[in-house]
Amino acid sequence: MNYPLRMPAEHGAWGILLVPYLTAVLMLGTTNLSVLLVLVAAVALFLVRGSADSHGTWRVLTDPRHLLLFSIGVLAGGWLVLAERRHVLLVLLAAVGTLYLLQKALAQHPDREIHEKRSLAAELVGVVLLTLVVPATWVAARGELDRSGLQLWLLNLLFFAGGVIYVKYRVRGLLAHRPFQSWAERVRFAWPVLTYHLLLVAFLIAASARDALPTLTVLAFMPGMLRALGLVRQLGKRFPIRRLGWSEVAQAIVFAALLVLSLKFSP
């Protein structure tokens, strides 16, 4: 059977994969072969996974195009593990496999009442899965995952999880088919988004107060926090989904720039 190559259905996932990778590269200050091989492996396997999900089967690997992409990903990762002795990547690979299976299990149980193809839990697992490109890049470059690499991964994870929650509730506001006439009604509907970002602010301020994070790092999250507050006003309003996607890409780029500047140049 012929399986044409299909791009991953979740267009926003490209940003969740590539922007964290970019922050890792900028923080490391290097683009050597090892770092580039992580990108090659991640993109190749991401494309195959997306196409397999679109077709609903991993039999896509019987198609030469998919098999070639999969082989490129495996060879790039295999070189890092075997030739460059980055054995810690095997632990990350096991985590990727586990998270993928968990996401698939969660995706089979979407919320039928609001007609979602994928649950919020499945989306958040996907964020963890994709942002693992940060520790993978760190290990490829330095041979180990140190405190700085873990910190960078956590900050990316927190930002993109907030973005996914925001987009999910922005869309749910439309699917609810309600006018949201009062502010109280809007807050009751959007409380998960507001609660997440309030807890995030508290965490960042506490970490900054204990000198675990530079104070300027909090600024990297401010556009996302303002976006979350704006959700209360935007609920129920129609919007072009493509414009929302580009807005999220712009948010991610601003976040990456501010994050790298705060971590790299703060005393």
pLDDT in tens, 215-227: 889 999 998 899 8
Would the pTM count as exceeding 0.85?
yes
pLDDT-derived band of residue 161, with 50, 70 and 90 as boundaries? Answer: very high
**266 close to 214: Cβ distance less than 8 angstroms:** yes
Percentage of the chain exceeding pLDDT 90: 57
CA distances from 168 to 71, 186, 256 (A): 34, 15, 22
pLDDT-derived band of residue 26, with 50, 70 and 90 as boundaries? Answer: very high
* The predicted structure's pLDDT at residue 111: 55
* The predicted structure's pLDDT at residue 115: 60
Over residues 50-85, the pLDDT tens digits come to: 888 888 888 888 888 999 999 999 999 999 999 999
Q: Would you list the domain boundaries of the chain?
A: 1-145, 146-262
pLDDT of 135 > 60? The answer is: yes
CA distances from 15 to 12, 54, 133, 232, 235 (A): 6, 19, 12, 25, 24
Over residues 192-210, the pLDDT tens digits come to: 999 999 999 999 999 999 9
pLDDT-derived band of residue 9, with 50, 70 and 90 as boundaries? Answer: low
* The predicted structure's pLDDT at residue 5: 81
> Which among 80, 46, 81 is positioned nearest to 66, based on CA atoms?
46
Structure tokens at 146: 């140190």
* The predicted structure's pLDDT at residue 139: 97
Give residue 119's identity as a one-letter amino acid code: S
* The predicted structure's pLDDT at residue 154: 97
Q: Which residue would you say has higher pLDDT here, 117 or 97?
A: 97
Distance CA 126, CA 197 (A): 19
DSSP character for 211?
Answer: T
